[in-house]
Structure 1
Amino acid sequence: MENFVVSARKYRPATFRSVVGQQHVTTTLQNAIASQHLAQAFLFCGPRGVGKTTCARILAKTINCEFVEEHVRKSRPVSELINTQPDIVPDALLNAADPDNTPFELEACGKCSSCRAFQENASFNVHELDAASNNSVEDIRSLVEQVRYAPQQGRFKVYIIDEVHMLSNAAFNAFLKTLEEPPSYAIFILATTERHKIIPTILSRCQIFDFNRIKVDDMRNHLRYVATQEQIQAEDDALHLLAQKADGGLRDALSMFDQMVTFSGQNLRYQDVVQNLHILDYEYYFRLIDALLTENLSATLLLLDEVMQQGFDLHNFVVGAAEHLRGLLVCKDPVTVQLLEVSDNIRARYVQQAQAAPLPFLLSALNLVSLCDREFKQAKNQRLHVELTLMKLAYLNSAVQFARDLQGGAAAPATNGEAKKKSPDAAVAAAPATPAPLVAPVAPAATGRLVADGTAEAPAAYSQTTNSPPPKLSTNHQALSTTNLAHAPADPEPIVPVESGVEELHDTPSIEDEAATQVPATPQLRDSVPHVEIGRPSIAGHEPGQTAVTAAPLPPPRPGMPPAGKPLGLGTKLPGLGSLSAMKAQLEQKAAAGKAATEAEPSGPVTGLPAINDELLQRVWKELTEERKAISPSQYSLLNRPIQANEQHLITLRVDNPVQEDQFNEMRAELLGELRRRTGYPRLSVQVEIVERVDTGRKLYTSSDRMEYLMEKYPVLGEMKQRLGLDVD
């Protein structure tokens, strides 16, 4: 049985003409041979399977060819070579009518003794070294020793070093001198897939050739040539899919081609390639876009389930959907259709579906799918994350149409309870007929108060200057306590209409009813004496055993006294009523100040505190310690020690070192809050003390120390040692 040879080796290029997709490299090398401008060192860089080692072997074969030696270097005419040495003339020139004037590409003849020896792997002028397994200084020294000997046959000795980036730095440094000034007959060809790992001193001594990824069309044509030579019937879509899957590497494409031929026999079909390579077919994405364009959410979700049942990765599905949408965008313009690297049949389907898909839909869908791709890794439920994106895509056309309807009907009255955005001119014209959205400014001498129903009672100055009734405070304004009411500034800022702010691209309708979202006004309650120690509410009228009492209207202020409902020590201005962000900032500042005051430690002795139930305190402390055991063993060991509280509700915690003190301070706030809540003692606090250990014990380091210690403890041992004449060592 004949040994099987893989296609990557069987159809490996033997001439510059047969190299696929690297014409910029092969043309330069042919011109260098023809003009006799060969460098002493070449560096071939590029991805895997693009022809670096192949071009190195072809170059080594060509420069030692006898036809190149006679015709190029000795300048002998082709006609003379045909008469004297016809066995070294290429067949293309041998059969030409006028060989001297026939243009041809400089190639090795493949017939001379040097070419035959190279083809049979018996050439002594070509040395290949794998730097991945010969990367030491000794290997490079051995190579340098071989360079010293001139070739016995031919003009050049060629050294091909593959995967040269695997050499160590010491090996690179040992190779520098020979690479820079080699003998005239030595040529080095270095090949690598990772150029950035080669030191700059090596790069500066070489001519660098960058090999490109092979185009899909070039790979497909080469696969068609191989299939024809092997008498295999292959569909064009199948070969195109293999070329796409190879990702620019011809060796990968040929390996997959052999695998597919083994699977399907002499008839290679597109479905066989999809099934065997486990590829998400274009058909899935065409069905997906058709379902989204018809707003068929059920078919979309069933398609996603089918993809998952086939065992495909969800992330690959999302990435493929983004690529499909990009292909549809490219096919919207006939000029850019050529950017789509697919077969002709698939390209026709892309063009047909692109005509049915609106451009706004494609742009918005591509944006949503890209967002889903970016957030996929962070999603806990990844399937739900993809399904939500598909739900948005299913109704994307309706959303776009709804936005267009809103823009077209901006002049129509609003029917959803919220006025639409208008232009600034329209807002100024309609200003007298609409109520002011903000509270009107109050004169400096005027005072007002908040009654129980949430209405701001207007002062006399306001009633004289305006004919409209006093405005109602909004829900956000009612949330403020009466302690925030004060005089307005003397020079109020002008009311800026909403339309002068950031303009939206389209109107944003509201789905809520304005009347239903209003919170009913609740009477404000005055603060009574705090009952912190007994744990009762601090709102008057809500003590245990009493009924709720509605706060009576506050009396008008007397001359020389601050306004009613305002505590002493507060400012006399009313900040923030013109800006919701300012009011939120004030509320957050007051909440932070109250929290800091609550968590502050007592600065001095407090009298009248109730006695602490030590049993309850110990039990709660033990519970908190056990809870910390699962979180952090170090925190558990820190808290797992005896404590005791004094009459000032101060707990003393003794630690061993300052590190433990810092560790406790990190969890102090959380621990104190939970301890106070569970025990019911709001004044509890913890004081940390560092206990200095004084070790007076005796250190027993050597055998003599241990023997002396035992003799002091047991005097009999000393007598026994003396009588028997024993030694410690």
Structure 2
Amino acid sequence: MEHFIVSARKYRPTVFKDVVGQQAITNTLDNAIENNHLAQALLFTGPRGVGKTTCARILAKKINQDGTQTEDEDFAFNIFELDAASNNSVDDIRNLIDQVRIPPQVGTYKVYIIDEVHMLSSAAFNAFLKTLEEPPKHAIFILATTEKHKIIPTILSRCQIFDFRRISVLDIKEHLAQVAQSEGVQANDDALHIIAQKADGALRDALSIFDRVVSFSGKTLTREAVTENLNVLDYTYYFNITSLLLENNIPQVLLSYNDIIAKGFDGHHFIMGLASHFRDLLVCKHQETIALLEVGEQVKAMYFEQSQKTEKSFLIEAIALANTCDLKYKTSRNQRLLVELCLLELASLTAKDEKKKSSLNEKRFVLPPSHFKDFAPSVVETLDVEQTHKELDTNTNEKIEDTKLTDSENKPSPSLPETTPKTEVSEVAATKIEKSQVPANERVIERPQILAERNAKKVSALSLKSIKKKQELQKALVANQPDQKNLPKDAFTEESMLAAWNTYTQKMETEGNFNLHSHLAMGVPRLEGNLLHLEFPNNTIKTEVERAKFELLGFLREQLNNYDVDLSIEVNEAEIKRYAYTPKEKFEKLMEKNPLIDKLRKEFDLDI
């Protein structure tokens, strides 16, 4: 079996131009050698696998070349590599200082490459200071480290520092493509991109992952094979879940997350990837920021397609929710529930937007008139009539405010502020008459009773004056009742009454008034002539239903076309027993409807 050389060693650069992603540093070192401007102490710092040791070896070889050597000359006698992790004592530095004094036998310079220099002890650093500041002219020191902050400042001040940066995903992908071509491997662009992302800026890690994936899948690298071997979530998972979130398909979202967990993926890794996915979709929304998307061409097309289906507001809120879940994940005791809750909130974002749009487009229910008068064959413009009522509201409110001021000044209370009579409404409406004809059954809404009731609610009952004033308003409410003779009083059946009742109950649920909906759905009104009897188990429910009594009556009167309909709301303590609260009561309630349930319980020996 032939000895295998890993790609990180096999394809290690031998000249500066082959170094990937560090053009600024390699150009600086090249120019320093050509111009004879090279410092005697250099510090290479940066993340792992970005080319620090490689550049040190290339530099050591290049400064000793004078054009007479062969290409494979490595100047092994002039290059000394010292691992500071295992040679970190004062004695090791003293041996190094003794060797520095001897000039090179071949070449011009002796180069000392000290790797992981931050591992030297404090005494070793201090012993090295003098030699590092004033070395012999034939000695050059190259220090390499991944943790510059652990090196004492006196060492840093004596070195020329070169900061190596992380290699970009694009540079790693291009280098991997060259390696794959040299090895005869057919690699998918997206597969190489996933490897480059997984390497996290380290080319050595990328080459190691490349060797591992090639061993797994052979001479053909696909995106599916890479994701399976590296145990990373494929892009398709995030695309599918985002589509489900946009469709508000909560059950399928939870099932998809369960599949991801079942395949061994970490929930924290998933939520971080989902946040990055939302970020990439937001990047695709603008032509200027597409360059920030570090994915393959095929996946970039998928991102662009899905970004057109998402709103910017959704993506911004989704990123915030996913980021909050990411921050809370490690401290959460139920981490799976935390991620599922985040997914529920994400799936509800578009539902909220649709609900807002529908509420804006929905036609709100207008309070039907309790009393009206025919103006046939009058011609009235609807907009003008509404304006008339606004004027009436304003005038009435002004009269009430004047009354309050009179009371506060301890002046005799004037007679009750009268609401505009029916004849005055007719005169005002007549001034709005236009020439367009309307049907004979067109009616003008009058609301003097409702206005008086509304103004009565504004009066406080915390003083004798206010109580007296409220009584006067109640008298005015009765005195200003319109003539009931001309109002329709059609006969209706109990079925039509129940249909109108159920319509109003469903309307309350649609408008989001769930509290009133639950109260009205508790029982069925009992009809006696034109009077509807309602019974509730306590005064609290009775009070809440009485608040909506006038609107409810107006709706029923209009639906039944009978304005003699009235509503009686009473409290019956016995009604409490009609509603089951404990498990036993619920079971007894079910037995009343179906006695076979008790037989089922006995058959399976069930407990209540």
Q: TM-score, normalised by structure 2?
A: 0.63
Instruction: For 1:282 and 1:172, locate their aligned partners in 2 and report how far apart those are by CA, in whole Å.
Output: 49
Match in the other structure for 2:516: 513
Matched, 1:249 2:253: no
Instruction: For 1:344 and 1:364, locate their aligned partners in 2 and report how far apart those are by CA, in whole Å.
Output: 27
Matched, 1:462 2:466: yes
Instruction: For 1:275 and 1:375, locate their aligned partners in 2 and report how far apart those are by CA, in whole Å.
Output: 28
Matched, 1:267 2:270: no
Match in the other structure for 1:25: 25
Match in the other structure for 1:546: none
Q: Report the CA distance shift for 1:429/1:286 in structure 2 as closer, same or farther (over 3 A).
A: farther
Instruction: For 2:258 and 2:397, locate their aligned partners in 1 and report how far apart those are by CA, in whole Å.
Output: 58
- Matched-pair contact (CA < 8 Å) for 1:44–1:190: yes
The percent identity for this pair of structures is 51
Instruction: For 2:119 and 2:272, locate their aligned partners in 1 and report how far apart those are by CA, in whole Å.
Output: 34
Matched, 1:156 2:115: no
Opposite residue 179 of structure 1, the aligned amino acid is: L
1:150 positional shift: 1.0
Q: Report the CA distance shift for 1:510/1:195 in structure 2 as closer, same or farther (over 3 A).
A: farther
- Matched-pair contact (CA < 8 Å) for 2:195–2:206: yes
Match in the other structure for 1:57: 57
Match in the other structure for 2:119: 166
1:173 positional shift: 0.6
1:239 positional shift: 1.0
- Matched-pair contact (CA < 8 Å) for 2:460–2:466: no
Instruction: For 1:235 and 1:521, locate their aligned partners in 2 and report how far apart those are by CA, in whole Å.
Output: 72
Instruction: For 1:10 and 1:134, locate their aligned partners in 2 and report how far apart those are by CA, in whole Å.
Output: 28
- Matched-pair contact (CA < 8 Å) for 2:180–2:186: yes
Instruction: For 1:214 and 1:153, locate their aligned partners in 2 and report how far apart those are by CA, in whole Å.
Output: 35
**CA displacement 1:298-337 (0-9 Å, x = unmatched):** 2212211110110101111111111111111101112211
Runs of at least 5 residues in structure 1 that lack an aligned partner in the other structure:
68-87, 89-111, 416-424, 446-454, 471-507, 523-729
Opposite residue 515 of structure 2, the aligned amino acid is: E
Q: Report the CA distance shift for 1:410/1:338 in structure 2 as closer, same or farther (over 3 A).
A: farther
**CA displacement 1:69-104 (0-9 Å, x = unmatched):** xxxxxxxxxxxxxxxxxxx4xxxxxxxxxxxxxxxx
Instruction: For 2:147 and 2:516, locate their aligned partners in 1 and report how far apart those are by CA, in whole Å.
Output: 64
Match in the other structure for 1:14: 14
Instruction: For 1:321 and 1:60, locate their aligned partners in 2 and report how far apart those are by CA, in whole Å.
Output: 46
1:370 corresponds to which of 308, 323, 326: 323
1:276 positional shift: 0.9
Give the 5 Å matches for 1:494-509. none
Match in the other structure for 1:177: 130
The CA RMSD over aligned residues, in Å, is: 3.5
Match in the other structure for 1:528: none
Matched, 1:130 2:83: yes
Instruction: For 2:256 and 2:518, locate their aligned partners in 1 and report how far apart those are by CA, in whole Å.
Output: 44
Matched, 1:116 2:72: yes
Opposite residue 43 of structure 2, the aligned amino acid is: L
Instruction: For 1:468 and 1:177, locate their aligned partners in 2 and report how far apart those are by CA, in whole Å.
Output: 105
Match in the other structure for 1:233: 186
1:134 positional shift: 0.4
Q: Report the CA distance shift for 1:50/1:15 in structure 2 as closer, same or farther (over 3 A).
A: same
Runs of at least 5 residues in structure 2 that lack an aligned partner in the other structure:
369-389, 411-458, 475-510, 520-537, 544-608
Q: Report the CA distance shift for 1:272/1:463 in structure 2 as closer, same or farther (over 3 A).
A: closer
Matched, 1:66 2:66: yes
1:140 positional shift: 0.6
Q: Report the CA distance shift for 1:134/1:399 in structure 2 as closer, same or farther (over 3 A).
A: same
Instruction: For 1:10 and 1:412, locate their aligned partners in 2 and report how far apart those are by CA, in whole Å.
Output: 79
Q: Report the CA distance shift for 1:411/1:161 in structure 2 as closer, same or farther (over 3 A).
A: same
Q: Report the CA distance shift for 1:356/1:152 in structure 2 as closer, same or farther (over 3 A).
A: same
1:376 positional shift: 2.2
1:181 positional shift: 0.7
Match in the other structure for 1:38: 38
1:457 positional shift: 6.2
Instruction: For 1:16 and 1:341, locate their aligned partners in 2 and report how far apart those are by CA, in whole Å.
Output: 26
Match in the other structure for 1:83: none
Equivalent residue of 1:370, what SS?
Answer: helix
Instruction: For 1:172 and 1:431, locate their aligned partners in 2 and report how far apart those are by CA, in whole Å.
Output: 92
1:407 positional shift: 5.4
Opposite residue 235 of structure 1, the aligned amino acid is: N
Equivalent residue of 2:18, what SS?
Answer: coil
1:390 positional shift: 1.8
Instruction: For 2:305 and 2:58, locate their aligned partners in 1 and report how far apart those are by CA, in whole Å.
Output: 46
Give the 5 Å matches for 1:436-585. 458-463=462-467, 511-513=514-516, 519=540
1:297 positional shift: 2.0
Match in the other structure for 2:332: 379
Equivalent residue of 2:44, what SS?
Answer: strand
Q: Report the CA distance shift for 1:429/1:116 in structure 2 as closer, same or farther (over 3 A).
A: farther
Instruction: For 1:301 and 1:409, locate their aligned partners in 2 and report how far apart those are by CA, in whole Å.
Output: 32
Q: Report the CA distance shift for 1:381/1:38 in structure 2 as closer, same or farther (over 3 A).
A: same
Match in the other structure for 1:206: 159
Instruction: For 2:140 and 2:395, locate their aligned partners in 1 and report how far apart those are by CA, in whole Å.
Output: 88
Opposite residue 465 of structure 2, the aligned amino acid is: A
Match in the other structure for 1:340: 293
Q: Report the CA distance shift for 1:463/1:340 in structure 2 as closer, same or farther (over 3 A).
A: same
Instruction: For 1:41 and 1:293, locate their aligned partners in 2 and report how far apart those are by CA, in whole Å.
Output: 59
Match in the other structure for 1:187: 140
Q: Report the CA distance shift for 1:518/1:38 in structure 2 as closer, same or farther (over 3 A).
A: farther
**CA displacement 1:130-171 (0-9 Å, x = unmatched):** 000001111111111111111122111110000000011111
- Matched-pair contact (CA < 8 Å) for 1:443–1:462: no
Following superposition, which runs of at least 4 residues in structure 1 exceed 6 angstroms of deviation?
408-412, 428-431, 442-445, 465-470
Equivalent residue of 1:356, what SS?
Answer: coil
- Matched-pair contact (CA < 8 Å) for 2:45–2:162: yes
1:391 positional shift: 2.1
Aligned residues: 418
Give the 5 Å matches for 1:384-395. 384-395=337-348
Match in the other structure for 1:578: none
1:412 positional shift: 7.1
- Matched-pair contact (CA < 8 Å) for 1:41–1:205: yes
- Matched-pair contact (CA < 8 Å) for 2:191–2:226: yes
Matched, 1:398 2:351: yes
Equivalent residue of 2:308, what SS?
Answer: helix
Q: TM-score, normalised by structure 1?
A: 0.53
Instruction: For 1:21 and 1:371, locate their aligned partners in 2 and report how far apart those are by CA, in whole Å.
Output: 34
Q: Report the CA distance shift for 1:208/1:514 in structure 2 as closer, same or farther (over 3 A).
A: same
- Matched-pair contact (CA < 8 Å) for 1:443–1:461: no
Instruction: For 2:192 and 2:467, locate their aligned partners in 1 and report how far apart those are by CA, in whole Å.
Output: 87
Q: Report the CA distance shift for 1:458/1:359 in structure 2 as closer, same or farther (over 3 A).
A: closer
Matched, 1:358 2:311: yes
2:95 corresponds to which of 125, 138, 142: 142
- Matched-pair contact (CA < 8 Å) for 2:40–2:140: yes
Matched, 1:216 2:169: yes
Matched, 1:286 2:239: yes
**CA displacement 1:116-137 (0-9 Å, x = unmatched):** 341xxx6211111000000111
Opposite residue 175 of structure 2, the aligned amino acid is: H
Instruction: For 1:33 and 1:256, locate their aligned partners in 2 and report how far apart those are by CA, in whole Å.
Output: 35
Q: Which has the higher contact order (CA 8 A, sep 6+)?
A: 2
1:197 positional shift: 0.5
Q: When you count helix as a share of all residues, which structure comes out higher?
A: 2
1:413 positional shift: 5.6
Instruction: For 2:263 and 2:171, locate their aligned partners in 1 and report how far apart those are by CA, in whole Å.
Output: 32
Equivalent residue of 1:342, what SS?
Answer: coil
Q: Report the CA distance shift for 1:413/1:263 in structure 2 as closer, same or farther (over 3 A).
A: same
- Matched-pair contact (CA < 8 Å) for 2:50–2:165: yes
**CA displacement 1:438-463 (0-9 Å, x = unmatched):** xx9x9899xxxxxxxxx996543334
Give the 5 Å matches for 1:414-433. 432=397
1:339 positional shift: 0.4
1:510 positional shift: 5.9
**CA displacement 1:28-83 (0-9 Å, x = unmatched):** 0001011110101100010000000000000000000012xxxxxxxxxxxxxxxx
